[in-house]
Amino acid sequence: MRLLPLCLALIMTATVPVATLAQDGPLRERLKGRMADRLQKKAVEEARPVDLQAIAAGAQKQTLSYGTNSLQAIDVYTPANAKNAPMIVMVHGGAWKIGDKANTGSIENKLKHWLPKGYIVISVNYRLLPTADAYAQADDIATALAFIQNNAAKWGGDVDRLILMGHSAGAQLVAVTSADPSVVTAKGGRLWAGTVVLDSATMDLQATMGQKRLPAFYTEAFGSDPGKWAKASPLARLTPQAVPMMIVCSTQRPDKPCDQADTLSAKLKSLGKPAPVQKEALSHADINRLVGTPGDYTAAIDAFIAARIGK
């Protein structure tokens, strides 16, 4: 889908005079909330159904809940006769406020690539702003991952060959979870094989939040208290137990996410963790959408996964 870049721009605007917005904070927040709701509804509606049988005959999909909120849910796509199958767990992006596990641009090419290879592919939803900030969303991801690990055998999955993946806001969520996986083990989960981080400018969140010109959704997601930012920063949260990460970044973005990718990679490597950086001359949207399409980019991700799961 190419809806997301437009969505993120529209979220920050409203069709009322700027002077009125400046003087009426509650009105501004209500308008932004209604815009986000409309864009989220449109994003869900435009996620066209995937023809699983055309992708992999005998494949099945089931939707399961890992919490009480309707957004605390996962779609589990299993190939026919799955047994000890490797697993890809995908977390969508959307500025922490929109997006859906069925978004075509996020999931379709990944299904086309990995389902026929015998992988189980799982797409994760999580609560969104304003119901849950980025800190609560990270807790959702940890809860979902523990749930997936504890149920993998039922689906024919091999929990020892699980790869976590996320794009944009989802990349921040999977990276911070991978930096300190104790949040997963505390919920009854375990360490996993590796994580693919798809284009985030929040690997060093404290540096990001310190910028003079910052999109408003960052403050909405992480708050204005500098004392809290380290909790959501993958760089600040790194522990010796961190999961190996492949960090993909766009060289086309003006906010230069590859600089933060290099910093995080160096810190991971100092802890003895594999942490390749994959720099791609692709847009932020295409960094996600093109995963699974033929070419060197997907091949590089496959190589990282193979090194982690032994296949």
- 116: confidence class by pLDDT, cuts 50, 70, 90: very high
> Which residue shows structure tokens 């999580």?
126
| 180 token code pair | 């300190």
Count CB atoms within 10 A of the CB of residue 191.
16
DSSP conformation class of 100? -
Token pair of 112, please?
A: 């086309």
Confidence of residue 3 (pLDDT cuts 50, 70, 90): very low
Please give the structure tokens belonging to residue 214: 């910052």
Q: What is the pLDDT of residues 197-207, one digit of tens each?
A: 999 999 999 99
122, β-bridge pairs: 76, 89
Q: How far is the CA of 113 from the CAs of 11, 37, 148, 193, in angstroms?
A: 32, 32, 21, 19
Give the tens place of pLDDT for each residue, 254-297: 999 999 999 999 999 999 999 999 999 999 999 999 999 999 99
Task: Return the pLDDT at 50.
Answer: 87
Domains, the chain, ordered by start: 53-309 (3.40.50.1820)
Distance, CA of 88 to CA of 74 (rounded, Å): 12
Beta strands at 157-167 and 120-124: parallel, antiparallel or unpaired: unpaired
* CA 128/CA 41 separation, integer angstroms: 13
Q: What are phi and psi of 165, to 5 degrees?
A: -145, 145
List, in sequence order, every beta strand (DSSP E) within 102-211: 120-124, 157-167, 194-198
pLDDT band at 22 (very low <50, low <70, confident <90, very high): very low
**Chain position carrying tokens 């590859």:** 258
Q: Could you give the C-alpha distances from 170 to 31, 92, 221, in angstroms and in order?
A: 25, 5, 12
Size (the chain), residues: 311
Tens of pLDDT, residue by residue over 119-168, are 999 999 999 999 999 999 999 999 999 999 999 999 999 999 999 999 99
**Angle CA 192–237–248, to nearest 5:** 60
